[in-house]
Structure 1
Amino acid sequence: MRTLIFGMNASLDGYVAAPGDDLGWSAPSDELFGWWLEREQMIGTFLYGRRLWETMSVWSTGDQQPGATPAQVAFARNWRDTPKVVFSSTLDEVDGARLVTGDAIAEVTRLKAGDGAPMRVGGRTLAAAVMRAGLVDEYEVVTHPVLLGGGAPHFGALDGWVDLDLLETRTFPGGVVLTRYATRR
């Protein structure tokens, strides 16, 4: 069975995007970007909702951008080469990924039951559904020292609590803190 990881940047007050989908507050330091790159290189499949897919699609040519750092080039190449599944009921096609328009939970359950490298789920709406279904094995929360006061919440409503075990903590420049947890089964 494959491990399913949900990891995102979050503000201290629990938002993944400020009002208007502003992500400017979450620009990573070089060290944090390197950590994300390292984590993404171990992922075998990315699972995206539509909005995050559209945001992440900039990486399809990120290695060809003027001034791209070596880490950005490596991130872009890894992102482009890693299999991706996009879950959307509004898109007709996606370049460089497989589109699923049907039951997301059934498809994630099927993918998780197979063998292979860990998968990462991203996208607030998709992740919330997968969390409610009890499919997430690990949570990576990268908390930035900012209070947004509103926006898109990091976690959606759950049907009950989920007990977690702390796996790792780490501090990055600028007061950014990683906490990584495993779902207690």
Structure 2
Amino acid sequence: MRKLTYAMNVSLDGYVAAPGDDVGWGVQSDELFQWWSDRVGSTGLALYGRGLWETMSSHWPTADQQPGATPAAIEYAGRWRDMPKVVFSSTLSAVDWNARLVTGDAVAEIARLKAEDGGRMDVGGATLAAAAMRAGLVDEYVVVTHPVLVGGGKRFFTALDERVDLTLADTRAFPGGVLMAAYETRR
């Protein structure tokens, strides 16, 4: 059985995107970028909602071919292209870059994928993650908190019908006051 992890950059006030889907508020560092790159390199399967897919697929497939691409960006782009991906959308008609499209019941498909053998699955995108959270499918939450208040936008956590108890599994500090905390779901 695969482990399902929900991991994203989050503002201190709990948002993954500011109003207007602005995600440019994060505190960048080489160390944090390498951490995300290593994470992508070790992901068995990435699950994307349409919004995050459109953001990622508009940049990373050719980021390594852009003038001035850093070695770290080149490495990340290759890892991202190689990583198997499933995109959940009722509006897209096709996806590329080692991805397949699912237009049906996301929760049923995530549960099916989770029951398979394989490496860790990461769910990305707040809306898709919210559906997995409400269904009790998320095994780990990795919150990478940036020291900024964006005041609104798309929340990391969704409203739940019942409490979910968590255990702190890991922490790490990054330059610029960014803190990563990983919590495992207690079952």
User: TM-score category by the smaller chain?
Assistant: over 0.9
1:53 is aligned to: 53
Cα distance in 1 between the residues matched to 2:31 and 2:18:
23
Greater helix fraction, Structure 1 or Structure 2: 1
- Large movers: runs of 4+ above 2 Å: none
Deviation at 1:68, TM superposition (A): 1.2
Q: Percent identity?
A: 69
Are 2:104 and 1:93 aligned? no
Task: Specify which of 129, 132, 148 is matched with residue 130 of structure 1.
Answer: 132
Compute the displacement of 1:27 (Å): 4.6
Aligned-partner residue type, residue 142 of structure 2:
E
Shift of 1:28: 2.4
Q: What amino acid maps onto 2:9 in structure 1?
A: N
Amino acid at match of 2:34: G
Residue type at the aligned position of 1:61: T
CA contact (8 A) 2:60 2:77 kept: yes
Alpha-carbon distance between aligned partners in 2 of 1:178 and 1:75, rounded to the nearest angstrom: 19
Amino acid of the structure 1 residue aligned with 2:159? A
Secondary structure at the counterpart of residue 25 of structure 1: coil
Between the two proteins, the alignment pairs up a number of residues equal to: 185
> Are 1:144 and 2:146 counterparts?
yes
| Structure 2 residue 76 is matched with structure 1 residue 40 | no
Q: Which runs of 5+ in 1 are unaligned?
A: none
Normalised to the residue count of structure 1, the TM-score between the two structures is 0.97
Provide the residue aligned with 1:105 in structure 2: 107
The 5-angstrom pairing of residues 54-93 of structure 1 reads 54-57=54-57, 58-93=59-94
Residues of 2 paired with 1:106 and 1:28: CA distance? 36
